[in-house]
Each structure stands twice: as structure tokens, then as C-alpha cells.
With several copies, the nearest count.
Chain A
């Protein structure tokens, strides 16, 4: 199982802040998880589609799309940050 989290504009447009996803051969990299989310269609394919800047953190550390994911990881998606 991996724990997905969504923040800010993503959380609002996807209408969910979190979900769990089965850990499988299809979820072993950030890129693979993104591909699954995109395949859901609707807002999912819009928000994770080409030209969208979505940042990713694995276990609360910023990661790249090719970062690997382990069973039990927390994988968060969010827009570029705007604090400060």
C-alpha cells in the first residue's frame, strides 16, 4: 500500500486530499504512479497532463519523477509553492 496526498489547487480540483493505492509493479516509481493517476481521465488527466507543473514529495522530501517508491511510502503531489 502507498499513501497518496494532494495539496492546494490539486486537492481542490481532484476533490480529495488523500487516498491509498495498492503497491504493485505499477507503482514502483513516481512516474508509474503519475501514469496511473493520469489514466483516470477528467481532472486527473488534466492536472497530471503535459505542461502541468506538479511537484512530488516522497516521504516528505522533494523528489524527481524517476524516484523509486517503496511499499508504505507517502507520495504527495502539489503545485509550485507560494509561501513566505
Chain B
């Protein structure tokens, strides 16, 4: 089954992957993406980051992305967890884990979900650097990554 969570507290990557991969002995492949906070961005040191989101819409947007992945590929479970609030370098920000009978579909669906999340789910990052706070700008490369999946 699919699972979507948006939470302030850290998540247990191992427990999520273990629950997903053990959910069926028909699963042959689990592909997991973990995005974590880097201590540098655009060349500047980043000491803390704060993630804002749009409660209610966030969950709906993630659900729509997960549903579309399920439509496009033959999958056996998708788990998405995204943190909000304050984060430190090395903190995991997001996890996308996809199970399937075969690896090709799990790889594609996992990359699809994170590519769509990056452009369609209402999260915003604000970085604290030694020079002060700043909102992170959207990346052109994320738009390109999303557009690869347009049918």
C-alpha cells in the first residue's frame, strides 16, 4: 500500500524501507531516494534550513503524484515522507521508496515521484547562512527534470 507523510520530526528510513520491502514476497526491487540537507548551496555555507509548506494542499499534491506513478507503472507500494520545519546539514529532508516486481519500473517511478515533487508539491526552503537568511530559488534543472516525464 502507498503511504504519504509530512512531518516535523525525523523519520526512520530503515523502518520505512523494511516495512515496504517485507509487504510482499512478490517484490523483487525496492528503489529508495533520500534527499538530505547539504551544508553548502550556491557556494555559500548553510547552517540551518527551514521548510515551510501548505498544510492540506501538500498532502493532496503528493497523493496526486503517487496516484499518477501508480497509473504509469506496475508497482507494489510507494512511500513518501517529507520533513518540514527547521533542519540541520545531514538531516534527511525527503524519502521516496518504490517497490515493484522488477527494477526498471521501480527506478523510473521513484525518479518520477521526486521530479514531480520538486516542481508540484508546495514546499519552500529558507536557508540561514552566515550572511543572513534567504529563500531558495527554484532551479531550472528541476523544471527540465519534470518535463522529461510529460506524455
Give the interface of A toward B (CB within 8 A): 5, 7-9, 11, 53, 57, 60-62, 76, 78-84
Taking CB atoms, residues of chain B closer than 8 Å to A82 are 118, 123-125, 135-139
Query: Which listed residue, B52, B54, B93, B126, touches A84 by the CB 8 Å rule?
Result: B93
Main secondary structure of the interface of B (DSSP, over half): mixed
Count, chain B residues at interface, CB 8 A: 28
Additional pairs, 10, CB under 8 Å, beyond known A81-B138, A82-B124, A83-B51: A8-B52, A8-B126, A57-B122, A60-B61, A78-B54, A82-B118, A82-B137, A83-B117, A84-B82, A84-B94
Taking CB atoms, residues of chain B closer than 8 Å to A83 are 51, 53, 82, 93-94, 117-118, 121-125
Q: Which of A8, A76, A82 neighbours the largest number of chain B CB atoms within 10 Å of its CB? A: A82
Can you show 12 pairs from A to B with CB atoms below 8 A apart?
A7-B52, A57-B57, A61-B60, A81-B119, A81-B123, A81-B124, A83-B51, A83-B117, A83-B118, A83-B123, A83-B124, A84-B117
